[in-house]
Structure 1
Amino acid sequence: MMTQVKFASPIFLLLVVMPWFSPTLGNDYVEEACSVTRYPGLCVDMLASFSSTAKDSPSKWARAGVSVTIGEVKLVAKYLAALKSKRYKNILSDCVECFQDTLDNLHRSLGVLRNLSASEFSNQVGDVTTWLSAALTDEDTCLDGFEERNKGKRVVNLINRVNNATYMTSNALALVNKLATTGPGCLVND
């Protein structure tokens, strides 16, 4: 009886023969950047695609963090605006308003992060941290109306979506705080 010999795939051989070539090599950048965040797993998942461009640039990671947060907050705002409920009408209206304020603060933050200057760095980063903190407060305020309520399936889904946006905003703030501690010298190679 002859046994059939199977050969390993060329990619497997490449990874074994050349261990330096690994698809996770670029993750070192994102993992390092996300190490300062409160939700590092979420951070890595959301920002991994920026590794090759952001590398070790705190300002690029801060912009990426705010940018992906804007995308998530837009989705949550759209979801909230589409919900129809007589029971939660006023609370949902408040949530939609809170998320519009959040989006305004995130867009304002991204605009400043795109135009950082060494001479205004401290003021600019101070403004961004203030706006991101306000965005967190707005997201948290959205959930206030649901604290005392019966947590049905729709409410739990809403809370989970808002919390995810809040976690992403928190991560973006942490990345901006890291940028602040790095100082304006990090802008040289940007």
Structure 2
Amino acid sequence: MARSTLLPSLLLLLPILYIAGTAESSVATPSAATNFIKASCSTTRYPALCVQSLSVYASAIQQSPRQLAQTALSVSLARAQTTKTFVSKVTKFKGLKKREIEAVKDCLEEMGDTVDRLSKSVKELNNIGKSKGQDFLWHMSNVETWVSAALTDENTCVDGFAGRALDGKVKAAIRARVVNVAQVTSNALALVNKFAEKH
């Protein structure tokens, strides 16, 4: 008796299990866009972070080196803006040491410059359009210069917290965020350079 009531239940479950299984396998098999991102990221300094931060945009990137560079810059800009906001909040913390206040304020200035330079880079890459030859090289040179400068700003912020005197939660929290921004910026620069080489 128990067996006859069990069978219809099992038959109902089979299509659900099949759908769940196929959905899982379609997610597990990487698309051409994801493979393109992985291959491109393998040439960057932080490949795992590169794949993790860009693969969510695979459908927009497809297999376009330009779209990949554009997306990498946009991700870097978004993280820089978030970090700048965080550093700005830290300046209002009570009980900071004098040297901490100076380091945080300097870092805020550096992150402001980073956001500015990355914003310009995103716009410049957007404006390239169908530029060719010297015109294209001029635009790309601007992008590369600004992204390199942004990377320098980020590293300068981290350097401002050098020395044991500044060790503590403030340094650790800011450093973790800024290092992450610097790493995605480094990856973005590598992908921008790669895109420039292909023209």
TM-score class normalised by the smaller sequence: 0.7 to 0.9
Letter of the structure 1 residue corresponding to residue 162 of structure 2 = E
Letter of the structure 2 residue corresponding to residue 121 of structure 1 = F
Distance (whole Å) between structure 2 residues aligned to residue 104 and residue 79 of structure 1: 16
Secondary structure of the residue aligned to 2:164 is: coil
- Give the match for residue 64 of structure 1: 71
Task: Say yes or no: does 1:106 pair with 2:118.
Answer: yes
- Give the match for residue 151 of structure 2: 136
Task: Say yes or no: does 1:159 pair with 2:175.
Answer: yes
Structure 1 stretch displaced more, 118-127 or 60-69: 118-127
Secondary structure of the residue aligned to 1:56 is: coil
Structure 1 stretch displaced more, 119-128 or 129-138: 119-128
Deviations 1:57-116 (A, max 9, x none): 111111100001111001110111111324311111110110111111101111110011
- Give the match for residue 127 of structure 2: 115
Distance (whole Å) between structure 2 residues aligned to residue 79 and residue 86 of structure 1: 18
- Give the match for residue 80 of structure 2: 73
- Give the match for residue 126 of structure 1: 141
Gaps (5+ residues) in structure 2? none
Letter of the structure 2 residue corresponding to residue 141 of structure 1 = T
- Give the match for residue 177 of structure 1: 193
**Deviation at residue 49 of structure 1 after TM alignment:** 2.2
Structure 1 stretch displaced more, 67-76 or 49-58: 49-58
Distance (whole Å) between structure 2 residues aligned to residue 115 and residue 176 of structure 1: 14
Letter of the structure 1 residue corresponding to residue 76 of structure 2 = T
Letter of the structure 2 residue corresponding to residue 28 of structure 1 = N
Distance (whole Å) between structure 1 residues aligned to residue 175 and residue 123 of structure 2: 29
Letter of the structure 2 residue corresponding to residue 56 of structure 1 = Q
CA distance 1:153–1:118, shift in 2 (3 Å): same
Secondary structure of the residue aligned to 1:143 is: helix
**Deviation at residue 12 of structure 1 after TM alignment:** 4.5
**Deviation at residue 180 of structure 1 after TM alignment:** 1.1
**Deviation at residue 154 of structure 1 after TM alignment:** 2.5
- Give the match for residue 11 of structure 1: 19
Is contact 1:76–1:162 with CA below 8 Å preserved after alignment?
Answer: yes
Q: TM-score, normalised by structure 1?
A: 0.85
**Deviation at residue 37 of structure 1 after TM alignment:** 1.2
Letter of the structure 1 residue corresponding to residue 187 of structure 2 = N
- Give the match for residue 49 of structure 1: 56
Q: Which has the higher helix share?
A: 2
Distance (whole Å) between structure 2 residues aligned to residue 64 and residue 160 of structure 1: 22
Distance (whole Å) between structure 2 residues aligned to residue 141 and residue 15 of structure 1: 46
Q: TM-score, normalised by structure 2?
A: 0.82
Aligned residues: 180
Letter of the structure 2 residue corresponding to residue 9 of structure 1 = L
